[in-house]
């Protein structure tokens, strides 16, 4: 039964990565993780998962590239425009009532979601009173998030998304184009703290009025989802907002009762004031 052996190898690989490097993929959804491990075998030219385990245990240099394969980095600026429209039209009026704001973009990938919110907050006049926290476990993604440079051929989509999200200006006012790249205005991230943080192994670090964590929980099994949502719950101020990805929900979470559905379709939740 060759594939049973493979399942065993996979578990051992995840243990190895955890014990050696403290990246914990053991509670990720297996079906898609397996696909990505197979991609890693190709990329690192390994015949078996055991061979990959051997490589990664003895050669720390391949870890960043391996993390790049094991985590999914697909993102866009203003991905799902109606989500950002709902933040703009329905959440921002509440946020305006606070003198200072903290916003956490958890699983920020290369920064697309962060810049989306930073632009939105600037357009809505909230930027000055806000500190953003942008976190991820992938160091290369974090580095790119801190650069804010995207390939120019993605900008047409980003601009259209921005427009559909209710953007008040043209997206081109926020970046300069050169040599096939768009460099987003560094002042957009002047109020952002970038940090390596895992929703699996790390703890709460500040009290937030808004947490946006999109398309990260789908990669977790239910137990891990529960942990991450518990973290969000503990991190949110009373009446703080939690925004999830289009296909994510609090359905399987022990903490569901501690939130109200604020925008059912856009998966925006409000932490109840009474718990």
Ligand X SMILES: C[S@@+](CC[C@H](N)C(=O)[O-])C[C@H]1O[C@@H](n2cnc3c(N)ncnc32)[C@H](O)[C@@H]1O
Which residues contribute to the site for ligand X (CB under 6 A)?
A: 71-75, 79, 106-107, 109, 112-113, 136-138, 141, 198-200, 214-216, 219, 245
30 binds another protein (CB under 8 A): yes
Given the complex with ligand X, which of 113 and 124 has the nearer CB atom? 113
Given the complex with ligand X, which of 51 and 195 has the nearer CB atom? 195
Q: Residue 267 Cβ, how far from another protein at the closest point, in Å? A: 11
Ordered alpha helix ranges (H), 124-165? 139-147, 155-164
Nearby residues of 257 by Cβ (< 8 Å), 6 or more positions away: none
Residues 48-77: x/- map of binding to another protein (CB under 8 A)? ------------------------x-x---
11 binds another protein (CB under 8 A): no
Closest CA to 101 of 122, 78, 119, 128: 128
Using CB under 8 A, pick the residue from 31, 42, 99, 264 that binds another protein.
Answer: 31
3-state helix vs strand vs coil in the chain, percent to 5: 50, 20, 30
CB atoms < 10 A from the CB of 139, how many? 13
272 binds another protein (CB under 8 A): no
Token readout for 254 is: 């022990």
- Distance of alpha carbon 206 from alpha carbon 132, whole angstroms: 11
- Distance of alpha carbon 180 from alpha carbon 161, whole angstroms: 20
Length of the chain: 275
218 binds another protein (CB under 8 A): yes
Residue 61 binding partner per list ligand X, another protein, none, with a CB distance cut-off of 5 to 8 Å that depends on partner kind = none
Strand partners, 261: 269
Residues of this chain that bind another protein (CB under 8 A): 3, 29-32, 34-36, 72, 74, 80, 82, 215, 217-219, 221-222, 225, 246-249, 251-252
């Amino acid at each position: 039964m060759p594939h049973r052996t493979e399942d065993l190898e996979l578990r051992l690989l995840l243990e190895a990565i955890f014990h050696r490097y403290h990246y914990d993929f053991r509670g990720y959804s297996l079906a898609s993780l397996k696909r990505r491990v197979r991609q890693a075998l190709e990329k690192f030219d390994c015949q078996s998962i055991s061979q990959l385990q051997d490589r990664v245990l003895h050669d720390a240099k391949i870890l960043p590239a391996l993390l790049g394969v094991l985590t999914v980095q697909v993102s866009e600026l203003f991905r799902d425009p109606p989500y950002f429209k709902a933040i703009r039209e329905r959440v921002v009026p509440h946020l305006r009532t606070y003198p200072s704001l903290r916003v956490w973009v958890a699983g920020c990938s290369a920064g697309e979601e962060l810049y989306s919110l930073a632009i939105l907050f600037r357009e809505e006049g909230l930027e000055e009173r806000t500190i953003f926290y942008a976190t991820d476990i992938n160091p290369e993604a974090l580095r790119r998030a801190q650069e804010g440079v995207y390939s120019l051929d993605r900008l047409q989509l980003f601009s259209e998304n921005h427009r559909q999200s209710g953007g008040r200006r043209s997206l081109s006012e926020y970046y300069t184009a050169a040599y096939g790249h768009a460099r987003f205005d560094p002042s957009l991230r002047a109020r952002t703290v970038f940090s390596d943080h895992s929703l699996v192994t790390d703890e709460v670090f500040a009290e937030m009025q808004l947490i946006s964590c999109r398309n990260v929980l789908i990669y977790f099994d239910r137990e891990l989802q529960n942990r991450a949502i518990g973290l969000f719950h503990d991190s949110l101020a009373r009446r703080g907002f939690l925004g999830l990805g289009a296909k994510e929900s609090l359905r399987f979470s022990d903490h569901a009762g501690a939130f109200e559905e604020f925008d059912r379709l856009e998966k925006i939740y409000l932490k109840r004031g009474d718990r």
